[in-house]
Structure 1
Amino acid sequence: MTDKSPINRRWLPLNALRAFEAVGRHSSFTAGGHALNVSQSALSRHVQTLEALLGCPLLIRHPHGLETTEAGRRLLPAISRGFDGIEREMNEIIRNRGRDRHLRTLRVHMPPSFLQQVGLPALKSFRREYPDIIIDVASSYVTGWPREEPDIAVVYDRPQAGQSVTDLLWMIHVAPACAPEIAREHEGKTLERFLRDTELLHVKLQGQARGLMWASYIRQRGLEVDTDRGLAFETASAATGYAMTGGGVALIDLVLFAQEIAAGRLVVPYPEPAEEGYGYFLTMRPEDMADPILALFRTWMIEHCARPEPPPLLRAAAAP
């Protein structure tokens, strides 16, 4: 095998990198060509040039489609991150052109229920302390890193290794919660009987069955309850809000809705929390760690979400 000279940024084949990134991202020469507004043959030549430069194939062409090789799978996310960063910063400069005070807009993403319960108070406090920092807030109910490519995001996800800088805010513990009058109406019943006799309120998870969260809780408790019935909501806040009207029982995050429990608007008649397997994580790209505004906001959010002790229900459950 012929040794290849080290790649030098002075000779980076930018057109070939753009071509491979478009084809790899869309898994198609046709779609990649449409994305860049160039012909398939031109894309193919660029990819072949890149493969020749590296001395190994990046794509395997099958009759039914394309497959990236191991080298292609390693290179593709690096190229995408690089181009995403260039695009992001150039658009940032254009958006902030002519502003005297700041050339930086902090783009934050939070899931809707987190934003409503925790994010809005945190942002209000942050703005009071740092009024000159420009902030754009986006919110969508997705699992993991959002498509909007923010600077920093609170993500709802399972713990997992990755290339992002991730700070755990808290792991989610859930328990059935309802309005006080519903708890009084069913007082004395077993948990199984209570869940059979009340309307179950679901929260939709992207790409998951509507009853997944309740089914997991029921399975952990060893109960027999039909989890296919009931109402399904887009957000945990909506499901919990409906529960507070007396409309049924919701499976709630005891940390996220601790204030509603403390105020008596929600009660947890069977205080035996279960681990959901998901948590809220503050996530950002490693290359942004040196950004002083991002570092400031990251520290602020971690301190805002830090709790000296868990909610009372979790303390009781953890007691020997």
Structure 2
Amino acid sequence: MINRRWLPLNALRAFEAVGRHLSFTAGAQALTVSQSAMSRHVSSLEDLIGKPLFDRSANGLRLTPAGEILLPVVAKCLDRLEETINTVRNHDSESPALRLHIPPSLLYQTALPLLHGFRRDHPEIRIDVTTSNGIGTPAGNIDMAIVFDRPSVDDRVTDLLWMVRVAPLCSPETWRGHEDKSLEAFLRASELLHVRIDDEPRGLRWSTYADQQRMHIDTSGGLAFDTAYSAVRYAIGATGVLLTDIDMFADEIAAGNLIMPYANIAADGFGYYLKTHAEDLSDPKIFLLRDRIISHFSRGGLTPAEDVQQMAPGG
């Protein structure tokens, strides 16, 4: 067994730099050492572990399965060590802030009360909140992340917060005059609003929904937005029909700013998940925040399903 007496810190630094850039040359430049020194350090680490960390070929470097496991752990440890040393060096007695990622629409619609309550109960815990669009865990130095994604398996502890349920939503003005139409006829007569998903076709969610409902509609037109929050604000103040998470925007439906004309609710395969590094669960700050997030969404973070269902005119 390897214990801390045998930890090769220089070799770990070299491995992290090469793995981050997938290049011995770029890694050597990042650490201001020679390329041959980087190669020796990585080779010594591979000898110590007994497994290759990189596949070396004419096409470049690629992490092996062992390298893919080791790299995020080494990178995180070096980041936190660097941050803590700088904190001590600058005579700041406070511990490093906990870095939490939350998707933007979720942050604005659901997570702000969660953060208010947690800060009220634990003012001593500093939190840096970041937000970005996209699927899956964001790149960068994040301690905890709520992510929008399909079900997946990775090296983090994953807690399902809720699965997304979607239905067409619009303003009362947009719905006026269409009360006698079928869902398919209503959508054909309306402008469809989209929420873009990174690396996915523009009309993916509408086309998936149309297939589930056995409808034939044109999903290519209409406006597209980066966030559901922006699309909802547009739909409330203008025209258009939006396919989005009915639970996240249940307050807007209950207030009458949005309506759900048809009770045709569908699951599109996406959900919100809390991702945490397994080695961080022993950190009291992360334990407390993880517990609060899970409790928030299990006890009252969303409107009960039956309440949302009844908001449709036919519910």
TM-score by length of 1: 0.87
Letter in 2 for 1:218: A
CA distance in 1, matches of 2:296, 2:236: 26
Q: Superposed, which structure 2 residues align to 1:1-320 within 5 Å?
A: 6-91=1-86, 93=88, 97-99=91-93, 102-307=94-299, 309-314=304-309
* CA distance, structure 2, for counterparts of residue 256 and residue 92 of structure 1: 38
| In 2, Cα distance between equivalents of 1:187 and 1:92 | 62
Counterparts of 1:192 and 1:205, CA distance in 2: 24
For structure 2, the 5+ residue unaligned runs are: none
Q: Is the 8 A contact 1:175 1:274 kept in 2?
A: yes
What is the match of residue 3 of structure 1?
none
Given that 1:107 and 1:137 are in contact with CA atoms closer than 8 Å, whether structure 2 keeps it comes out as: yes
One-letter code of the match for 2:7? Answer: L
* Mean Cα deviation higher: 116-125 or 17-26: 17-26
Q: 1:66 to 1:131 in 2, by over 3 A?
A: closer
Aligned-residue offset at 1:286: 1.6
Counterpart Cα distance in 2 of 1:106 and 1:68: 29
Structure 1 unaligned spans of 5+ = 1-5
Number of matched pairs: 309
Q: Tell me, what secondary structure is at the counterpart of 2:98? A: strand
Which deviates the most, 222-231 or 280-289? 280-289
Q: Tell me, yes or no, if the aligned pair for 1:109 and 1:137 is still in contact at 8 Å.
A: yes
1:112 and 1:275, CA in 2 relative to 1: closer, same or farther beyond 3 A? same
Identity score, percent: 50
My pick for the range that moved more, 184-193 or 56-65, is 56-65
2: CA distance, partners of 1:230 / 1:79: 46
1:40 CA drift (Å): 2.1
On the 8 A contact 1:105/1:133 being kept in 2, the answer is yes
User: TM-score, normalised to structure 2's length?
Assistant: 0.88
Equivalent-residue separation in structure 2 for 1:160 and 1:220 (angstroms): 22
Q: Which moved more, 1:72-81 or 1:291-300?
A: 72-81
**Distance in 1 (alpha carbons) for counterparts of 2:52 and 2:275:** 33
Q: Secondary structure of 2:176's partner?
A: helix
